[in-house]
Structure 1
Amino acid sequence: MSSRLSAGPPKPAMSRRALLRGAAAAGSAGVLAGCAGRPDAHLDADAAPWKRYAGTTLNFISENTAPTAAIAADLRPFTELTGIRVNIVTLELSALAQKVALDFASGNGEYDVVYADPYLVLAPYAAAFADLREFQEDPALPRLPGGFGDFIPAHLDTAGRFGDSGKVLALPYDCPTMVWQYRADLFEEYGERMADDLGFDPTPSDNSTWEQYHAIAKWFNSHAHQVRYGTGHQAKQHDALMCDFSNVLWSYDGSYFADGTRVGRFGTTDPGKCLLRSDAAVAGAEFYDRLLRVADPASRTWDWDGLGAAFRSGRIAMCPNWHEYAAANETALPGKVGYARLPKGPARSAGMYGGTGIAVSNVVSARRRRAAWLFANWATAPKTQVSNLASKVGGGTPTRASVYAVPRVVEAEQRPSKMPNMLTAEAVKAAWKDANLGLRPKIPMWGECDTAIYTELSRMFAGEVSPGGAMRAAADRIDRITARGWVN
């Protein structure tokens, strides 16, 4: 998330019916008629597995993320390994979802490899992606180093699967996670005074609560001359607001749907009734409204990028934000920033996971799918992930367990670090534990539900509706969306 372009409200994607019509028509033709404008992948059946498709050009469509920036800056290792060229198209997320939907529905097969956001791409268009187990089990193709089991399980399930079929539709590629980012230098300078005034140790820890966070923010507002406000938030009327609020909602034992862990981790087409009318959800909204009242007022104009910039400029003392901002933080505020798991509510701590996988389009020829597998395999390999960590233009965080045991990666968890995102390792590993993982619902119609949530929260901030009223209104809108279903 840290390097992503800010997106506007998610737009309704191509209907599932239109997608399936296009996919079915393409599939019945064997080799897609729409691919006639693109040459098929070259094949030398006698070549070594990595060289078998040399001479092919692949198209990869991605959101502008840290690992894609790193890979785009140095594709030479992949081209030398395979003889394959890769064209990379980067877009903001809602535009990417539209492009992919149109490509699938038309059967053109323009994109071989797709950055498959779990909510706007993978859930609605799962039928249009190849089951990657086919390639992993093909003796003529290179296997994943470490296999599927080397990916962090929560990442593989959330970013790579949809439903209970067991299919693996994407390989975990990035893993932005929301953590507590704070000015460690100011907490050190004022720690004793805050403790005396507030009656608790303000140092961020696993014991910190959201009520304590609120109290710390108020204290900074009145006592610290180095910053204007204690806290800031990504509370613009935008997807960012849903992300920021969800951390609090879950910590209060609120949920969007029943069995939220399963719906978030594996996904479903029928999530049931929305649960935002519950007492727990309303309590979470009441606290969130109260928290925003002591936050920097500009929070209501910020998405994650605006919040990150405000923190780096020294305007605020702390904020919840995506962990991959560490690389930029360490440039602007070297040695002054700390990272911790988000505070606890009455039920638990919860940190939003925002990871995405890369997938192979099923709307391209069989040869192209196999060539695309080579790129997906290489792009998520441990060696590539270590390289991305150290990239001057990238900095993505590993999705493979083995990378966290590499000696120079372990060393980078402490300053001075040549891989600054690893300074967040302790915080994100805590957030990825099952008890702390924050997963929004992986349902095909999530884009519209997301809009309902942040729209009603914005009305709450404006005083048009109470926190309880905002939750009830959002739930009513979500129930209408899910009752209609995805097939328009």
Structure 2
Amino acid sequence: MASRHTRRNIIKGLGGAAALTTLGAGPLRTALAKTMADDKTWKQVSGTTINFISENTPPTTAISKNIESFKELTGINVQITQLQLGDLVKKVALDFGSGRSAYDVIYADPWQVLSPYHKALVDLNTLNGKDGLPAVPKGLDDFIPTQLAGAGYFGDREKLYTLPYDCPTMIWIYRRDLFDKYHDQMQKDLGFDPTPSDKITWEQYYQIAEWFNGDQAKEVKYGTGHQAKQYDSLMCDFTNVLMAYGGEYFKNGDKVGLLGSAEPGPCTLDQKPAIEAAKFYQKLLKIADPGSTSWDWTGVANAFENGRFAMMPEWHEFAGSLESGPLKGKVGYAPLPTGPKRSANLYGGTGIAINGNAPDEQKKAAWLFLVWATSPQTQLAGLKAGGGTPTRTSVYDMPEVKKASHPPTDMPNMLTADTMKVAWDKDHIGLRPKIPVWNQADTAIFTELSKMLAGRQSPEQTMKSAKDKIDSATGA
């Protein structure tokens, strides 16, 4: 089957451009004008042009299809560039290094843009409701707290650098039809209720996977599949287990993950919880679909849809495309299993920021765009068009969104809503270190883990080697 589960293609399975008409200029413009600011406020820098650089993500795809609604509201022209994240990081780095502002609005990935370049971004507190500019509607408290902290700040909460824009997070995605069909037999054979939830431990997840590897369920050959390619996806897949076992990349991992640090101290991957997590992960991958070590998040989603295995840790926004394909109505969603410490669900969300080098008129125009792009009205319209998952509590509280969290639904990402309320809680969210040299650390982690999965080194050697490389990168 051809790959179709890219982040950009998620929207295509939900009606594509036709569905995006829900972002129509008239109703949205009226709603925003009445609830947020008057025409004079919105039109104060009419005629300005700003440039927005973003990763290829569902929210940006949705917004780009209907950017005329923002232009009608404000008179501001927005030129949007969508790239793969690696290419975006390179272009942003060059822009900051030149001291210019080719890009006024920046998709500021917390690890690859915010951490190393936060000093080049505008403190949004200086624009929020200041000097005739509109304030964030419903206030900053309307953003999901862990997302606001994880995407918006660096080092402390004094300066706010981004507004939460998207929020992909890893959860347990499984074949609900098979778990329902074989529930009683599985419970009898395994000795526990196998219904996916954070009450299931990772050891029990392993047992469930082994059960499906047997001959009892003919629909799938394997119990579990993973995004264990030697790539960022492998770090993500492993980190869920690492944090569940109580392992951390650095001491005070919660703070380093939530707010970030330029000096995180020595890496702690050589400590016992991390080694135990590596041992379990090695054991789990030995019984997983053998294709796992060749798949990233897209590959594992395609294999799941093709019926190769019964469950996987995967980014929650893949629900949008899974529910538009052959498995529509057959998929279930739950927080990831619990380890000796907790259930950890890795967060991968990003905020949008303003280039500090931009001229004042562009900064004002960029702020108006940030307010509009992250507003409840725009997030609701994007949700209806498959444009990603809201980052605001008020959107989830809307009656039509609550109704859409149960089938039948025209907002398939909302089928994960109950799971996400748990996954984004401070006790469940998984936050990788927000450090300026994260790229080097990430590479060290997935490189060493790949050696372990290939049988070339032990879990102890893997964690020690990764620690040494990370300490070299941080200067610890």
Partner of 2:15: none
Conservation of the 8 A alpha-carbon contact between 1:395 and 1:421? no
Gaps of 5+ in 1: 7-45
Q: Spell out, residue by residue over 1:67-125, the C-alpha distance to the aligned partner (whole angstroms, 9 max, x if none).
A: 11111111122111111121111111111111000001112210010000000000000
SS in 1 for 2:449: helix
Per-residue CA deviation, residues 430-454 of structure 1 (Å, 9 max, x unaligned), is: 0111111100000000010000000
Q: Is the 8 A contact 1:5 1:92 kept in 2?
A: no
Q: 2:348 pairs with 354, 359, 377, which one?
A: 354
2:373 to 379, 386, 392: 379
1:375-430 alpha-carbon deviations (Å, 9 max, x no partner): 11100000000011111xx4311111111111101101000111111110111110
Q: Does 2:7 align with 1:4?
A: yes
Q: For 1:231, give the aligned amino acid.
A: T
State the alpha-carbon separation in 2 of the partners of residues 411 and 238 from structure 1. Answer: 38
Query: Where does residue 13 of structure 1 map in the other structure?
Result: none
Q: Which residue of 2 aligns with 1:271?
A: 264
Count, aligned residues:
442
SS at match of 2:127: helix
Give matches, 1:134-283, under 5 Å.
134-164=126-156, 166-222=158-214, 223-283=216-276
Name the aligned partner's letter for residue 348 of structure 1: R
Contact 1:232 1:296 in 2 (8 A): yes
1:60 aligns to what SS in structure 2?
A: strand
Distance across 2 between alignment mates of 1:5 and 1:422: 18
User: Which of the numbers 392, 407, 411 marks the counterpart of 1:400?
Assistant: 392
Aligned pair partner of 1:456 in 425, 448, 452? 448
The alignment's C-alpha RMSD in Å is 1.4
Alpha-carbon shift at residue 5 of structure 1 (Å): 7.1
CA distance in 2, matches of 1:342, 1:233: 13
Alignment partner for residue 416 of structure 2, among 408, 424, 443?
424
CA contact (8 A) 2:7 2:57 kept: yes
Q: 1:218-244: CA deviations, max 9, x gaps?
A: 111112211121110000000010000
The TM-score normalised by the length of structure 1 is 0.89
Deviations 1:285-331 (A, max 9, x none): 00000000010010001111111111122221100000000011101
**3-state SS of paired residue (2:182):** helix
Aligned to 2:45: 53
Q: Distance in 1 between matches of 2:246 and 2:149?
A: 22
2: CA distance, partners of 1:49 / 1:451: 46
**Which residues of 2 match residues 124-135 of structure 1 at below 5 A?**
124-135=116-127
Query: Contact between 2:8 and 2:58, CA under 8 Å: does it hold in 1?
Result: no
1:76 lines up with 2:68 in the alignment: yes
Q: Do the aligned residues in 2 keep the contact of 1:130 with 1:361 (CA within 8 Å)? A: yes
Residue range with higher mean Cα deviation, 459-468 or 308-317: 308-317
Contact 2:116 2:435 in 1 (8 A): yes
Q: In 2, are the aligned partners of 1:395 and 1:419 still within 8 Å (CA)?
A: no
Alpha-carbon deviation of 1:165? 5.2
Between the aligned partners of 1:466 and 1:205, the Cα distance in structure 2 is 31
Preserved CA contact (<8 Å) 1:120 1:447: yes
Decide whether the 8 Å contact of 1:4 with 1:92 is kept in 2.
Answer: no
**1:291-306 correspondence to structure 2 within 5 Å:** 291-306=284-299
Q: TM-score, normalised by structure 2?
A: 0.91
Distance, in Å, in 1 between the alignment partners of 2:400 and 2:156 is 38
Q: Provide the identity percentage.
A: 55
Partner of 1:340: 334
The answer to whether the 8 A contact 2:247-2:273 is kept is: yes
Q: Distance in 1 between matches of 2:155 and 2:219?
A: 49
